[in-house]
Amino acid sequence: MDQPTWTGHGSSPPPPDPVAVAIGNASLFGLGYVMLGRRWLAVLSVLVTAGLVTLLGTVARSLLLEIVVVLWWVALVVHGWRLAGGRPRPGAGAGVLGQRVIALAVTVPVLLAVGLVRFDAATIERTVTEAKQSGDCGKASEALAQVRTTHRVADAPLTARGDETTEACARLRTARDKLATALTGDMAALQAGFDGLAGVLADLPGHEKMVDVTLDGFLAGLPAKNPCHTAAVADWLRQRPPNHTVLDRAAQVVPATAPAALVGCGDDRMAGSDFETARSRYQQLLDQYPGHELTARAQEGVRRAVLAIELARVRSLLVAAPGGLPRYCSSPAQYSGAAPFAPGTNRALIYGTPEYLDRLPPDWRSTDAADAVLVVCVGEKEYGAAVQTCPYIRRTPGGTPKNVTFHKIAVPVKAYELRTGRLVKDMRVEIGGASCPGTIEYFGLIDADPPPDDYVAASDADLRAGFAPVITP
């Protein structure tokens, strides 16, 4: 069908030019529809464009929606072109040219702005990509801080990828802090840190190098200042099940880190009197790293720890109950560091009635199990062999002689070799002394007779002679 011809009458405006309308609609602001007088279409196109742009810049930032926007843009251009007649009219004059200039004046800046923003977004993306490849979260975060709403609208998929990197870096910072806390011996933080790294690998592909760099930072902190913390971390890494990711290489630091940490931890625990833990750490090195250059040191550590454990056990048993003998006397234990029971003077820890024991020679007695050979347990005294019987008369008139028999002081004695806890002496010691003194004193009624038996008066020499078979065999 032929296009109608128009005859100019004065300053009548030319009909809408299809090219101008198409260009006007390309602005996405419905300018072409305005030029056609289709204002309701202009309003509708602006509303649809605003809705798409809002979705594109917020919740639905995807390539699919970006394609929808492009298709919408093409549809507006084509629809405007067709509504305007679909073909440029021949002989277009200055009015048509003016329409085109107006349309271009609106549309070109819009398209140019979109292009510039997309170019800027592409520059940011290149920086972020380089940062991801080098594992530099700081560089990526600095670049992503430049992303604005205009970038989100003009290049939605790019900013969506950037948001993933922002999330990855945030999660990696949390994991890094947890791993730093783990170096203080907090194994719950170590678990949380590795869970965080594994989560980034699983949820945010493409950030493996950043995970790798974070892991490197943690491993560079080993060994920690405290060897026991290092040993705890090494134990955890050794026992961690592999998951076939970059995290598995953390176990590679264990052989280089653990041995010195185990021995160092043993030394620290010894200094802190935690002898059981010290022995466990020394023994762990011997079990897990046989033939290591620290083997001799660990063996010596085990020996020292065992001796310390034994000594602590013996000391606890040697706490004497009030008015009685210590538990050691019924439950002896060994202290392997003690000297063996042998001929000569065997220094002893002696327990029993202090009436006689405190008078034994000082060089026989020890004050601590660490330098004793024997533990001597002395029971209650009783009458030993009779020595002499003598008559005694009360000083009051009318008294008749009464015989008093004097006996040696007899005490049951058990002596344990501290080195083995073995009973080496089980005997009845009898201590001699002077008998039949000129007078005797006793507590009783005035007219009561003296007891028929009494003990000899033992001198220091008598006590020494009585206990000599036990202390100096």
Q: With a cut of 90, say whether residue 396 has pLDDT above it.
A: no
pTM of the model: 0.70
| Nearest-angstrom CA–CA distance, 372 and 343 | 15
Q: Given this model, what pLDDT does residue 7 score?
A: 43
More confident position, 261 or 392: 261
Which pLDDT band holds residue 136 (cuts at 50, 70, 90)?
confident
Longest alpha-carbon distance in the chain: 178
CA angle, corner 290, sides to 247 and 255, nearest 5?
Answer: 20
The closest alpha carbon to 6, from 17, 25, 36, belongs to: 17
Average predicted confidence (pLDDT) for the chain: 82
Left if phi > 0, otherwise alpha if psi is -120 to 50, otherwise beta: which for 178?
alpha
| Nearest-angstrom CA–CA distance, 333 and 312 | 10
| Nearest-angstrom CA–CA distance, 243 and 210 | 18
Q: With a cut of 90, say whether residue 291 has pLDDT above it.
A: yes
Q: With a cut of 90, say whether residue 237 has pLDDT above it.
A: yes
Which pLDDT band holds residue 6 (cuts at 50, 70, 90)?
very low
Extract the tokens encoding 133.
């490849």
Which pLDDT band holds residue 318 (cuts at 50, 70, 90)?
very high
Q: With a cut of 80, say whether residue 371 has pLDDT above it.
A: yes
Question: Which string of DSSP letters, residue by residue, matches 336-387?
Answer: TTSPPP-SS---EEEES-HHHHTTS-GGGB-SSGGG-SEEEEE---EEEEEE
Extract the tokens encoding 121.
């977004």
Which residues is 383 bridged to in the sheet? 409
Phi–psi pair at 216, nearest 5 degrees: -60, -40
Contact of 152 with 159, CB cutoff 8 Å: yes
Extract the tokens encoding 111.
């398209």
| Nearest-angstrom CA–CA distance, 122 and 120 | 5
Sign of CA dihedral 441, 446, 451, 452: positive
pLDDT in tens, 148-180: 555 555 555 555 666 778 888 889 999 999 999
What mean pLDDT do residues 104-121 have?
A: 67
Beta strands in 83-227 (DSSP E): none
Q: Given this model, what pLDDT does residue 131 score?
A: 64
Q: With a cut of 60, say whether residue 37 has pLDDT above it.
A: yes
Extract the tokens encoding 102.
């107006």
**pLDDT above 70 coverage of the chain, percent:** 71
Q: Given this model, what pLDDT does residue 376 score?
A: 96
| Nearest-angstrom CA–CA distance, 43 and 33 | 9
pLDDT in tens, 179-195: 999 999 999 999 999 99
The residues, ordered by sequence, that sit 6+ positions from 95 with a Cβ below 8 Å of its Cβ are 13, 14
Sketch the domain layout of the chain as residue ranges: 1-179, 180-309, 327-471
| Nearest-angstrom CA–CA distance, 145 and 127 | 12
CA angle, corner 206, sides to 204 and 208, nearest 5?
Answer: 90
What mean pLDDT do residues 459-464 have?
A: 94
User: Strand 422-431 vs strand 402-417: parallel, antiparallel, or unpaired?
Assistant: antiparallel
Contact of 376 with 470, CB cutoff 8 Å: yes
Identify which of 202-206, 409-413, 440-444 has the greatest average pLDDT.
Answer: 409-413
Least confident of 80-94, 427-441, 448-462: 80-94
Query: In Å, what is the CA distance from 365 to each residue of 95, 382, 390, 431?
Result: 127, 23, 36, 18
Q: With a cut of 90, say whether residue 79 has pLDDT above it.
A: no
Which pLDDT band holds residue 94 (cuts at 50, 70, 90)?
low
Instruction: Work out the burial of residue 319: count CB atoms within 10 Å of its CB; fewer than 13 is exposed, 13-18 middle, 19 or more buried.
Output: exposed
Q: Given this model, what pLDDT does residue 125 score?
A: 66
